[in-house]
Amino acid sequence: MSLVKTSDNDEHRAGAVPTGEREEDQLLEAIRTRLSTPVVGDILDQMGRCHQFLPPEIRGITPGMVLVGRAMPVLIADCFGPQNKPFGLLTEALDDLRPGEVYLARGSRLPCSAWGEILTATARTRGSVGAVIDGFHRDTPKVLSQNWPVFSRGAYAQDAAVRTQVVDYRVPLEIGGVAVRPGDLVFGDVDGVVIVPRELEAEAIERALQKASTENLVRRAIETGMSATGAFAEYGVL
């Protein structure tokens, strides 16, 4: 990373983002502590990737949840009644989770829960950093007690056993028109969940850190009397 100076001679770490494996934790921590999904989404728009936010109904089950990690996509399909293998490949997918990964599931169309207490405990124990469910979760109090981020379309207790099956995992998929591939960067906070394609992440996060720094300058300028028009003309950020 490089040092980028701000006004008042402040310096903070922004700019170039390392992509080496040994610096993965540093990258994810920079995103977690210094960025927000709006800033990252704005940069992806500027890069011509205008469809990177998952549907707005997919939100943290409490507003303060923040999730940053690598996508482990999971494909869920409808089923109708008892199956020869209840839940399909669900346990295999959970057991295949690796540290730093996000269990990111495209849900079925039947309304039922795709996440809960035991799944949270399993994923958390394996080092996964969160779950993003295009569907519903249940066992909300027992999920919350584990202090582990879950994003979903809401709480709904109806069981998945006779309604859905996991049919594959570590495969490309789409949710709300957003393509997700294994290893893509997943960033969720109170404003939604954004997917950063792996091949774009170094440039996107570098530019997002720079934009966040500039936004701090703009706010400071406006709070000390500059007009919004003047601030936008000078900094190009609003």
Which CATH code for domain 59-196? Answer: 3.50.30.40
As a whole number of angstroms, the distance between CA 233 and CA 126 comes to: 49
State how far the Cα of 172 lies from the Cα of 155, in Å rounded to an integer: 26
Per-residue buried b or exposed e for 91-105, using 16+ beta carbons within 10 Å of the residue's own CB: eebbeebeeebbbbb
Of 65, 77, 90, the residue nearest 193 (C-alpha): 65
Give CA–CA dist 70/220, Å, rounded: 34
pLDDT at 107 (0 to 100): 87
Query: Residue 193 and residue 184: Cα distance in Å, rounded?
Result: 12
Report mean pLDDT in 10-residue bins for the chain, 238 residues.
37 47 85 96 97 98 96 97 94 97 93 97 98 98 98 97 96 98 98 97 95 88 88 82
The distance from CA 226 to its chain's CA centroid, rounded to whole angstroms, is 35
CA dist., res. 126 & res. 179, Å (int)? 25
pLDDT at residue number 9: 39
Contact 66, 189 (CB under 8 A): yes
Largest interatomic CA distance in the chain:
68
Q: What is the pLDDT of residue 218?
A: 85
pTM: 0.88
Please name the amino acid found at residue 172.
P
H helices within 57-102, ranges in order? 90-95
Element containing residue 235 per DSSP (H, E): helix 228-235
8 Å CB contact between 108 and 163 = yes
Helices (H), ranges, 88-130? 90-95, 117-125
pLDDT computed for residue 45 by the predictor? 98
Q: What are the residue boundaries of the structural domains of the chain, listed by start? A: 2-48+199-235, 59-196
119 phi, psi to nearest 5 deg: -65, -40
Spatial contact of 103 and 97, defined as CB atoms under 8 Å apart = yes
